Structure 1
Amino acid sequence: MLSESMLSESMLSESMLSESMLSESMLSESMLSESMLSESMLSESMLSESMLSESMLSENMLSENMLSESMLSESMLSESMLSESMLSESMLSESMLSESMLSENIATTHSDLVLRAVHCGIPYRVVHNASIMNAVGCSGLQLYNFGETVSIVFWTENWKPESFYDKIKKNRNLGLHTLCLLDIKVKEQSVENLMRGRQVFEPPRFMSVTLAAEQLLSIICNRREQGEELALNEQTVCVGVARIGADDQRIVTATLQQLAESPSCDLGEPLHSLIVTGSLHPLEVDMLRLSAQPDALIGLKMTDSSTYCS
């Protein structure tokens, strides 16, 4: 019995030892699994952080790239705006200068030469020549009946002055004719070439009577839309002259609309001038008939026994 008891105790000890070893084994496996799980989670965490870092780096690089492109675009836009601003200022300066010269309506070249000669102590002498200012008498209109002379300039897309119309209106209200000197562009530079300092000149241009009449008709249309009392209209009698004094000079009397639209009123090569008539003496009317287009004088009205107007 003692042996059996000892045997039982031995078997119990072995059983407890086995359970203890089994528990330790299971614990080791559990710790190993937890360790592997921790390492796996750590690897995943490091991978996630790595991917996050790469993502943040990519976003940062993208942001820097977008910022660089934005700064480049702003720089290009600023340069473009600066160029446009400089161009606009240049065009505005030219416009203001032209309007100033036009509003003054003074030919200063001859006076300037005389004053410079006097200032430098250089003797001078004036040699008189023929001038359109008196040569227009060949049109049949009396020089006594001319008022202030005006200049009609080439219009541009952004500059269309109308001040010459107001002077024509003033002359017409006084019953006076108006000699219109037409624009000449010789050795002119474009705004771009002027800004870049390039000695490149535009082809010469000479305003025709047709173009001058078109610009006047455009002003008449604008003033009519504004409800203004008109100084002249499409049927106002005008005289176009070209190359006065030359063998092939031309004189054409027509309405303003005929001068703008009729092919028979094309005066050919320059130089051209336009006369807007005021009040007409019967003798002037007879002279105008010599160069008149069909129906050009049909709209004349007699205001008294010796005066006609259109």
Structure 2
Amino acid sequence: MFYLVGLGLGDASDITVKGLDIVKKSKRVYLEAYTSILTVGKEALETFYGRKLILADRDMVEQCSDELLADAEIDDIALLVVGDPLGATTHTDLIIRAVEKNIKYKVIHNASIMNAIGCCGLQLYNFGETVSIVFWEETWQPDSFYDKICINKKLGMHTLCLLDIKMKEQTMENLMKGRKTYENPRFMTVAQACQQLMEIIQKKQEQGEDLCLRDETVCIGVARVGSDEQHIIAATLKQLTSVDMGAPLHSLVIPGKTHPIETDMLRHFALDDSVKAILQRL
């Protein structure tokens, strides 16, 4: 059996009882190490689980699935995933590959940012399409996520923005030369995401386009959701460009039409009285 086990969002103890039983009985246990991170490292997980883990990086999960799934038709093999196993399309692809090999699989679900984002005070059923905001490069600055945010806003829906994670990335030069040299991990901050949004807004304004976001739009920055160091701030888009939310991981939420109860919750997280005044007018 091939198991995909969700680890939740906080630390080693967030694994479910069912998931921990699978970890203890499996012949091999892999730790997926690139779509997200926990607040604790591999060693802390090994201590809590009482067994060694095999790191599964992007290359292994996406290109060497045969190695990952080896003997899963006769032995229990587990892949540990931060959050919920089906929060990333990569893991759905693994399931398809397992099915093609006639390997049975089972998913052990857990909390993910997709449901835990309710911590910011907005109701989950009022969220529209989730978007990803990627790091801009000098020659590549996509802004299609802005259009999706606008569609959600027009429908009165909230938008969860997942912020870019760069794990085991290669420069174009190293990639072209076949050198296995990797850059240091990078995690986009709320401030960086808001700065990119501000630049898009300025460009749209200069082109005379209608804006769905403005400097004074109230947004919500969240950091380390599910951990003891969880941090939530409601502030204007412009204010958030200079707010330090601390260590990763960060996410950004852009509200649509808010219910009075949602507005009351946002006031609880307001950066200052000026934000509370804007919320009062919503």
Which of the pair has the greater relative contact order for Cα pairs under 8 Å at 6+ separation? Answer: 2
Alpha-carbon contact 1:180-1:273 (below 8 Å) kept:
yes
Percent identity of equivalent pairs: 61
CA 1:123–1:134 in 2, change beyond 3 Å: closer, same or farther?
A: same
User: 1:31-110, aligned counterparts within 5 Å?
Assistant: 107-110=88-91
* SS of aligned partner of 2:128: coil
Question: 2:222·2:250 contact (CA, 8 Å) conserved in 1?
Answer: yes
How far 1:228 moved relative to its partner?
A: 0.3
Task: Work out whether 1:299 is the aligned partner of 2:255.
Answer: no
2:259 pairs with 1:287: no
Q: 1:114 aligns with which of 95, 103, 124?
A: 95
Query: How far apart, CA to CA, are the structure 2 residues paired with 1:191 and 1:240?
Result: 32
| Residues in 1 aligned to 2:169 and 2:213: alpha-carbon distance in whole angstroms | 33
Per-residue CA distance 1:134-179 (angstroms, 9 max, x = gap):
0000111000110000000000111110100000000000011000
SS in 1 for 2:208: coil
Query: 2:174 aligned with 1:197, yes or no?
Result: no
Task: Tell whether 2:128 aligns with 1:147.
Answer: yes
Number of residue pairs matched by the alignment: 195
Q: What CA RMSD, in Å, does the superposition of the two structures yield over aligned residues? A: 1.2
Asked whether the 8 Å contact 2:221–2:250 carries over to 1, the reply is yes
- Please state which structure has a larger fraction of its residues in strand: 2
Q: Give a deviation string over 1:212-248, Cα, whole Å, max 9, x none.
A: 0000000000000000000110111100000011111
Query: Does structure 1 conserve the Cα–Cα contact (< 8 Å) formed by 2:267 and 2:279?
Result: no
Runs of 4+ in 1 over 4 A off after TM superposition: none
Structure 1 unaligned spans of 5+: 1-105, 303-307
TM-score after normalising by structure 2: 0.67
Deviation at 1:289, TM superposition (A): 1.1
- Residue 81 of structure 1 corresponds to none
Alignment of 1:1-310 (within 5 A): 107-261=88-242, 265-294=243-272, 295-300=274-279, 308=282
Q: Deviations over 1:78-127 (max 9, x none)?
A: xxxxxxxxxxxxxxxxxxxxxxxxxxxx9421210111111001110010
Unaligned runs of 5+ in 2: 1-86
Q: 8 Å contact 1:235–1:256 — kept in the other structure?
A: yes
2:162 and 2:104 map into 1 onto residues whose CA distance is: 31
CA distance in 2, matches of 1:268, 1:185: 17
Give the aligned residue type for 1:175. G
* 2:106 counterpart SS class: coil
What amino acid maps onto 1:182 in structure 2? L
Residue 300 of structure 1 deviates from its aligned partner by 3.8
**Separation (CA, whole Å) in 1 of partners of 2:271 and 2:247:** 20
> TM-score by structure 1 length?
0.61
**Could you tell me how far 1:196 is from its partner in structure 2?**
0.8
Which amino acid in the other structure matches residue 159 of structure 1? W
Structure 2 counterpart of 1:269, one-letter code: A
DSSP-derived class of the 2:277 partner: coil
Counterpart of 1:297 in structure 2: which amino acid? K
Larger radius of gyration: 1
Does the CA contact (< 8 Å) of 1:237 and 1:297 recur in 2? no
- Cα deviations across residues 236-280 of structure 1 (Å, max 9, x unaligned)? 11000000111111001101001002xxx3110000000011111
Deviation track 1:18-39 (CA, whole Å, cap 9, x = no partner) reads xxxxxxxxxxxxxxxxxxxxxx
Q: 1:299 offset after TM fit, Å?
A: 2.5
Quick one: which amino acid aligns to residue 275 of structure 1?
A: V
